[in-house]
Amino acid sequence: MSPKHIEDMYDAVIVGAGAAGLSAALGMLRSDAIRGLRDDGVEPRILVISKLQPLRSHTGSAEGGIAASLGNVEADDWQWHYFDTVKGGDWLVDQDAAKLLAEYAPQTVINLERDGVAFSRTDDGRIAQRRFGGHTKDFGREPVRRAAYAADRVGHQILHSLWQQCVAAGVEFAEEWYVTDLVLDADRSRVAGVVAYDTHAGAVHAIHARNVLLATGGAGRLFHTTSNSWDLTGDGMALALAAGLQLEDAEFVQFHPTGLAHTGILLSEAARAEGGVLRNADGEAFMAQYAPEHRDLAARDVVSRSIMAEIDAGRGVADPKDPDGPKDCVWLDMTGIDRDHMEAVLPQVVETIRKYANIDPAKHWVPVKPTAHYTMGGIPITTDGEVYRWMAGDDAGRRTVVEGLFAAGECSCVSVHGANRLGGNSLLDACLFGNRAGLALAARIVEHPVDDPMADAADTTDDPLTAAVDAAAAARKDELAMLLSPADAADDAANGASDAIDDNPYRLLADLGRVMERAVAVRCSADTIGTALAALHDELAPRAAALHAHSDMAAFNQEVTAIWEARHLVSLGETVLRASDARHESRGSLKRLDYPDRDDAHFLAHSMCSGDGLLWQPVHIVDYPPQARAY
């Protein structure tokens, strides 16, 4: 679906159509502010741009649940959820944001049900809930059933329901358009719009907007083994970096403990919540040693490190598909779960194991290993979704909001996840803070709507911004023409890039994934980080700059967008490595072998990384001072 025409100016452009982007669109359109605007006869100009058809967004692959203290199965309290979120993030969580997350989680889940999400039910008809790692009652005393679920397909339910509501509300989508540029004014204080590439027509468009919201998802494809879909290439984060903005806590990348061996495909935490047990080569249920209270349902970083410790100690197993290969997996034993119950509540997990491993999980153990799953860091935002810069120099120690620029979901960092995200909090973050960003967008739109009949027709305040977007679009059109022009092997050879004509973005991404995995997957050190940075600077970045399309067709040329994605990931990879190198401690998902302990005295702070360098922003401590973290 493509817009029938491009407006001269939009009130708001939302980039990304997963749970965060769709929640923002609905929050905006359902707000009292927009209702009042429509009652006055003014229709807001809104466009949602998605590089996929929205129902292919990665939200649809979320399996296990969405966390909320509904108390439908056992007693629960949002204050307990708040504490668990802070502890789960190893005290790098901004507690004002985490408090909002926990307090408004039940309302968020109930609103999703009203929008059509078909949650699984208890016998008395209420929303069913299951255990998830790190969620407890009484401030850590024992596990609690807090994750609302829809079998093991809750993301699919949420995505379809939100999309249907957006279609019903008349939201205009630009589907399979790829945003190549985020355009700000000269001093990075105000948004001007975006540049987007229509993959169907092969055309570059200047999209002028008074407000832009980025909701582009994560960056799992930085790594060779990932649970993320193929399209999660860190686009929003890379766009922010290219525009001169910062990324917050980029060093914290969560590895989910149970990726199906050598595919990376996620086997939901729900499998362990329903009774699955992790075992080493000796058949030992080893999590009792590492997390005696919570065992297989400890926080994800704890379980992932425990698996790697077993592998490093020689107690790993080989993938049965490659029995002579490396022993870099452990077993997931689901044989203790009743077959009928397993089929009813874990249908997607069972189907994945049977289809991709040729194993019947009711009879045989399943090989698993940690897989890159979630980026805790991202574009820094306030609790209303406003993108800001953490300032240095004369303005040191304060946030400066970029006027009209918002973000939500995994590409952003409101810092409710800190150094490690608890299972069930990602869908909650996307829906809750997506909705809040939508409400903040609506408040800005009503102040100065594009179609305001009372506006001064001679107003030219937006002219410099319009020119900036047009200039960015012209530069991108020139680059596209260069990418599609016939490659000159003689010129390549003269520039020392004789292999460039044979290179391609897919090979580059595979090489980048292996470099990043060796450097910072689950554990790292100064040596591994330094080796990876050298590889990026000396090999991968020059290769990315030299990439050239192998077809001169602009329409439906997937290699063009793959080249831009590869360049985004190389840029983002460098930022992840620089931030990891700067943090001389181990916290949450970041395990530094050369700095094995947490260091609150020096690093109870968020890294704020950009092309201008790295700054540190203090964590917001409200109710829970840092303490030891154990499960």
Active site residues: 300
Do 58 and 228 meet the contact criterion of CB atoms below 8 Å apart? yes
Element (H, E) at 425: helix 425-447
What is the DSSP pairing of strand 412-413 with strand 129-137? Answer: unpaired
User: No. of H helices and E strands in the chain?
Assistant: 20, 21
Query: How would you classify the pairing of strands 212-214 and 12-15?
Result: parallel
Distance separating alpha carbons of residues 156 and 162, to the nearest angstrom? 10
Residues in the chain: 631
Kindly provide the b/e burial profile for residues 452-483, where b requires at least 16 CB atoms within 10 angstroms of the residue's own CB. eeeeeeeeeebeebbebbbebbeebbeebeeb
Other C-beta atoms lying within 10 Å of the C-beta of residue 314: 9
3-state secondary structure 462-499: CHHHHHHHHHHHHHHHHHHHHHHCCCCHHHHHHCCCCC
d(CA 526, CA 519): 9
Residue 211 contacts by C-beta under 8 Å, 6 or more apart in sequence? 11, 12, 13, 191, 404, 405, 406, 441, 444, 445
How far CA 174 is from CA of 159, 171, 491, in Å, comes to: 17, 10, 38
Cβ–Cβ < 8 Å for 107, 81: no
Q: Are 581 and 526 in contact (CB under 8 A)?
A: yes
Say which amino acid occupies 186. Answer: A
Which of the 8 DSSP states describes residue 597?
A: S
- Alpha-carbon distance of 295 to 274, in angstroms, equals 13
Separation CA 472–CA 193 (nearest Å): 10
Least Cα distance to 444 among 402, 389, 413 occurs for 402
One-character DSSP codes across 129-191: EEEEEEEEETTTTEEEEEEE-STT-HHHHHHHHHHHHHHHTT--EEETEEEEEEEE-TTSSBE
Cβ atoms of residues 46 and 10 within 8 Å? yes
Over its C-alpha atoms, the chain yields an Rg (Å, rounded) of: 24
Is the Cβ–Cβ distance between 8 and 193 less than 8 Å? no
Tally of CA atoms within 13 A in the half-sphere of 486 that contains its CB: 3
Please work out, in degrees rounded to the nearest 5, the angle formed at the alpha carbon of residue 380 by the alpha carbons of 468 and 158: 100
Collapsing DSSP states into helix, strand and coil, what is residue 313?
Answer: coil
Nearest C-alpha neighbor of 291 from the set 267, 317, 309: 309
Residue 204 — φ and ψ, nearest 5°?
-95, 135
